[in-house]
Amino acid sequence: MPEGYYDVEISNLALIEACWGAAVADQVIDHVQMRLHHAGLRVAQDDARGRFRIVCNMRRPGFVDHQHLADLPYRLSAEPISIERATNERAALHAVISWQCDNLPRYRSPRDIQVDHQERWFAIYKSDMQIVAYLFRCMKEGRLAPHWQAVRDYRDPGQVLYHEALLRFSEPNEALSPGVVFLALERTGLASTFDWLMVSHVIEELEAHPGVTLGVNISAHSAHLHGWWGSVIEDLRARPGLAQRLVVEITETEPLTHVADAVIFARRLRDCGVTLALDDFGTGYISIRHLMELMPAFVKTDGSFVKRAICPIDPCYALPHIVGLVHALGGTVIVEGVETAGMADLAYVSGAIWQQGYFHGEPGLIRSGITRPLPRLPDYEQRRTPAQWRH
């Protein structure tokens, strides 16, 4: 292996130092070095501050397991680091660990927040980090649980295509909304770490409920084969029955700048039996070109389309056109955000049989099996007559 493979970096160290000072940054460096040592790795600090070089695995001298290194940055990134002693504040932060020479795609660096928000970046980053630290603490303490929300057939709501697993706080009065949490994850560079934990949760749910098909949402940051996906795909290959009950939904809240990596990622998932979906299509960054290259089985339209279509003031009637486009490209459409009977009717006359939203059921802890198996689609590389699998 090339020597550079052994480099690891705290990619948000400059932001940490700018927000909390040099003493806190030094504490974070010491913490990461200690955790690498506890993982059985001998490390040497690089000339660049906050960067380390793995010398060897002390438990197996001369050998460093590739997959161990691939998963380790996410495990370390998920660990809160208390800074109460250094700041006299009851606060924690996370070190965003990057494995430098695993060619990890750089969709957006945490440093981009300085450009995105200019003079407001300082306050936004500190606030985001506290939201993220609270989120990971709740996950560790079991105060977050996967809630299932069904994708139902408009004509027969008893027919469920699959359930999307959505992580929700256990406390009903929790003030943090998913939208706030996910923006904080994206802006701090910890979205992939959260996705790693969420995919692990969903696989555990699939193991516990053999008759169920579940969807899990991942950020565009995670749509590549670098890092933690390697061990997940190996596991799914070994258990094709489980893989066929997993739907991976790529959300488009962030730019999909490394399209080639995402296309390879999508193909590998399909090869082991996983179904691919695009979430929130039509309002974000994923273009028609991306749709054609990724070839998802399911395309979920953003809920804003059905809401705007029934708006009495300046309505927008784009939904039928989006549904028609997806059908023409061979995909199955799922309309999200269906909250009323009127919205459900409108989505259906627009051409969408499958729908998701509060009208068809809120996300909940009630577990119910799925009787309708996911459609087994033809080879995506040979799509010629898409009308065959529109529904």
CATH code of the domain covering residue 274:
3.20.20.450
Is there a single domain that holds both residue 182 and residue 38? no
Q: At which residue do the structure tokens 């998913």 appear?
A: 178
CATH code of the domain covering residue 69:
3.30.70.270
The type of residue at 137 is: R
Is there a single domain that holds both residue 50 and residue 145? no
For the record, the structure tokens of 313 come out as 């003031």
Q: Among 93, 86, 80, which residue's Cα sits nearest to residue 128? A: 93
205 — alpha (psi -120 to 50), left (phi > 0) or beta?
Answer: alpha
Instruction: Indicate whether 33 belongs to any domain.
Output: yes
pLDDT for the residue 292: 82
63 — alpha (psi -120 to 50), left (phi > 0) or beta?
Answer: beta
pLDDT for the residue 291: 80
Least confident of 70-79, 143-152, 278-287: 278-287
Instruction: Indicate whether 322 belongs to any domain.
Output: yes
pLDDT for the residue 103: 55
What is the rounded CA–CA span in Å between residue 54 and residue 71? 15
| pLDDT at 174 exceeding the cut of 80 | no
Q: What is the pLDDT of residues 325-348, one digit of tens each?
A: 888 888 899 999 999 999 999 999
**Number of domains forming the structure of the chain:** 2
Share of the chain above pLDDT 90, in %: 40
pLDDT for the residue 150: 94
Q: Among 182, 151, 127, which residue's Cα sits nearest to residue 299? A: 151
User: DSSP string spanning 184-209?
Assistant: HHHHHT-HHHHHHHHHHHHHHHHHH-
Instruction: Indicate whether 112 belongs to any domain.
Output: no
Q: What is the pLDDT of residues 219-254, one digit of tens each?
A: 888 888 877 888 899 999 999 999 999 999 998 666
Is there a single domain that holds both residue 195 and residue 80? no
Q: Which distant-in-sequence residues (6+ apart) come within 8 Å of 254 by Cβ? A: 107, 108, 186, 191, 219, 220, 221, 284, 285
Determine contact, residues 308/328, Cβ cutoff 8 Å. Answer: no
| pLDDT at 375 exceeding the cut of 80 | no
Instruction: Indicate whether 122 belongs to any domain.
Output: no
Give just the sign of the alpha carbon dihedral 367, 297, 283, 106: positive
Q: What is the pLDDT of residues 268-291, one digit of tens each?
A: 999 999 999 999 887 666 667 778
- φ and ψ at residue 173, rounded to 5 degrees: -100, 15
Choose between 263 and 55: higher pLDDT: 263
Determine contact, residues 322/335, Cβ cutoff 8 Å. Answer: no
> Count of CB atoms within 10 A of residue 63's CB?
9
Instruction: Indicate whether 390 belongs to any domain.
Output: no
Query: Which of 35, 70, 103 is the endpoint of a domain?
Result: 103
Identify each DSSP E strand in the chain by its residue range: 7-10, 41-45, 51-57, 81-82, 92-93, 97-99, 144-153, 160-169, 214-218, 246-251, 275-281, 298-301, 332-335, 354-355
Q: Give Dmax (Cα) for the chain.
A: 70
Instruction: Indicate whether 67 belongs to any domain.
Output: yes
Determine contact, residues 185/196, Cβ cutoff 8 Å. Answer: no
Query: Which of 103, 119, 141 is the endpoint of a domain?
Result: 103
| pLDDT at 353 exceeding the cut of 90 | yes
Q: Among 83, 89, 52, 148, which residue's Cα sits nearest to residue 368? A: 148
* Count of residues in the chain: 391
Determine contact, residues 220/104, Cβ cutoff 8 Å. Answer: no
Q: Whole-model pTM above 0.75?
A: yes
Is there a single domain that holds both residue 157 and residue 18? no
Query: 3-class SS at 94?
Result: coil
167 — alpha (psi -120 to 50), left (phi > 0) or beta?
Answer: beta
Query: Which of 48, 69, 103 is the endpoint of a domain?
Result: 103
Is there a single domain that holds both residue 81 and residue 170? no
What is the rounded CA–CA span in Å between residue 295 and residue 259? 12
Share of the chain above pLDDT 70, in %: 82
Instruction: Indicate whether 114 belongs to any domain.
Output: no
The angle subtended at Cα 166 by Cα 97 and Cα 198, nearest 5°, is 30
Domain span at residue 66 reads 4-103
Question: How far, CA to CA in Å, does 92 sit from each of 8, 126, 149, 324?
Answer: 22, 10, 32, 48
